[in-house]
Amino acid sequence: MSTTAVIAPYDPAVDAPKPHHAIYDYDSGPPVHRGKFAIWLFLATEIMFFTGLIGAYIVLRMGADTWPDPENRLAVLITAINTFILICSSATMVKAVEQAMLGNNSELVKWLAATVVIGATFVGVQVYEYMELIKAGNLPNVDIFWSTFYAMTGFHGLHVTVGVIWNFVVMIAAMRRKIPQEKYMTVELAGLYWHFVDLVWVLLFTIVYLM
Amino acid sequence: MSHDKGIGYSIWNIFVALFVLTAVEVFWGYAFHHNTGFMLKMPVALYWGGLLLMAVVKGLLIFMYFMHMRFERWIVWGLILPTPLLVMIVLAANMPDTSFNEQRDHPIGYLIDQTGEVVNALDPHHPAKGRGTPHGAPAPAAAGEGQH
């Protein structure tokens, strides 16, 4: 009597080589988009950076016998208008993110362009303010008021400049149709940074120019 | 997550609120300044408190809506919340040696001028731009300059 060997078909669930680590049936990454997690981690360091600068200003001001009234040294009204300008750019950025989520590329480009132009205007006004102050001899080494003023507003201006460049690069990508609807997060991450810069300015304007 | 009315808020409402609050802040700064206010010279604590309150409300509007933290998950809150707290602890630890230290050789705001004398660079009413005694008699003040 002869016997016939029966060979079972290959079943990957049974026959595939077993890995040396556990296999999860869920995403083991952070419970938010990885890019968003990364940008918030970066913004956490930025919060510490600006809190440190503002905190140093408060510590020094509390320790000084006298402190000049900012109204007598700074152009408060021009800077108030500049604050409006930055708030406008935050609103246009929100619209850009919204259009990216809807997959409306032409509107996305339009709102990003508006954000870039308005952001660059803010930087331009700040550069003008610096030029006028320096022309009047108000350099950072004159006294501690000017040292802290230039440190805080200078680093913020640098951040705005980086934000303008970032938004410009995203706008170029959108113009080349490299940001389809499913990649809206590219715009959202730039937007989070931009809103953070706006948020810092809102606090800086009050503390440096009005108090 | 969306940015417009679909999820319960309009960005234009937030925008108008930020716009109005900034205008009120500037008006507050001119009208109620503790030295130069044209409507009322408020006590410093009230003047500063009002300004800070408005700034914090504006910051929260941007943080909660434009940065959509209102719709974020716990992990993002967990990343953000400790950071300002940590920096404030470091600053508070620093204050006894800076803000409240009466033993400094050269107090905050004072510079050594070309003659080697210590002068208060922040006080324009002293002779030689604020030459005076550190932590001594209060500096003369006029029109808000040289005041806290």
Q: What is the mean pLDDT of each run of 10 residues along chain A (211 residues)?
A: 64 69 70 89 94 91 88 92 95 94 95 98 97 94 92 98 98 96 94 97 95 88
Domain containing B40 equals 5-97
Which residue in chain A is spatially nearest to B102 when comparing CA positions? Answer: A63
Q: Which of B3, B87, B96 is nearest to A107 (CA)?
A: B3
Domains in chain A and their CATH numbers? Answer: 32-210 (1.20.120.80)
Instruction: Give the model's confidence band at B126: pLDDT under 50 very low, under 70 low, under 90 confident, else very high.
Output: low
CA distance A184 to chain B (A): 11
> Does any domain span residue B140?
no
Count of domains for chain B:
2
B16 and B43 housed in the same domain: yes
B13 and B30 housed in the same domain: yes
pLDDT score, position B51: 94
Q: Which residue has the tokens 């900012």?
A: A70
- Rounded to an integer, what distance in angstroms lies between the CA atom of residue A194 and that of residue A54? 19
> Does any domain span residue B122?
yes
B61 and B118 housed in the same domain: no
> Does any domain span residue B29?
yes
Tens of pLDDT along B82-124? 988 888 898 888 888 888 888 877 788 888 777 877 788 887 6
Q: Can you give the pTM of this predicted structure?
A: 0.83
> Cβ atoms within 10 A of the Cβ of A45, count?
9
> Does any domain span residue B144?
no
B77 and B11 housed in the same domain: yes
C-alpha triplet A204, B92, A73: angle, nearest 5°: 30
B84 and B119 housed in the same domain: no
- Rounded to an integer, what distance in angstroms lies between the CA atom of residue A171 and that of residue A164? 10
- β-sheet bridge partners, residue B111: B119
> Does any domain span residue B81?
yes
SS3 A134: helix
Q: Which of B3, B91, B120 has its CB closest to that of A65?
A: B120
> Does any domain span residue B37?
yes
Q: What one-character DSSP code corresponds to residue B65?
A: I
pLDDT score, position B100: 86
The pair phi, psi for residue A117, each rounded to 5°, is -65, -45
Contact between residue B81 and residue A33 where contact means Cβ atoms under 8 Å apart = no
Q: Does A141 touch chain B (CB under 8 A)?
A: no
The reply to whether ipTM tops 0.85 is no
Q: Which of B4, B15, B108 has its CB closest to that of A63?
A: B108
B44 and B61 housed in the same domain: yes
In sign, the C-alpha dihedral spanning A123, A129, A135, A141 is negative
SS3 A80: helix
> Cβ atoms within 10 A of the Cβ of B30, count?
15
- Retrieve residue A164's tokens: 């303008």
Q: Does A192 touch chain B (CB under 8 A)?
A: yes
Q: Does A77 touch chain B (CB under 8 A)?
A: yes
B110 and B88 housed in the same domain: no
Contact between residue A126 and residue A134 where contact means Cβ atoms under 8 Å apart = no
Instruction: Give the model's confidence band at B131: pLDDT under 50 very low, under 70 low, under 90 confident, else very high.
Output: very low
B123 and B57 housed in the same domain: no
- Rounded to an integer, what distance in angstroms lies between the CA atom of residue A46 and that of residue B91? 16
B45 and B115 housed in the same domain: no
- B-facing residues of A in 110-139 (CB < 8 A) are none
B89 and B127 housed in the same domain: no
- Rounded to an integer, what distance in angstroms lies between the CA atom of residue A87 and that of residue A80? 11
Q: Does A81 touch chain B (CB under 8 A)?
A: no
- Rounded to an integer, what distance in angstroms lies between the CA atom of residue A179 and that of residue A190? 13
B128 and B83 housed in the same domain: no
Q: Which of A52, A72, A196 has its CB closest to that of B67?
A: A196
Q: Does A35 touch chain B (CB under 8 A)?
A: no
B30 and B73 housed in the same domain: yes
In sign, the C-alpha dihedral spanning A57, A61, A67, A70 is positive
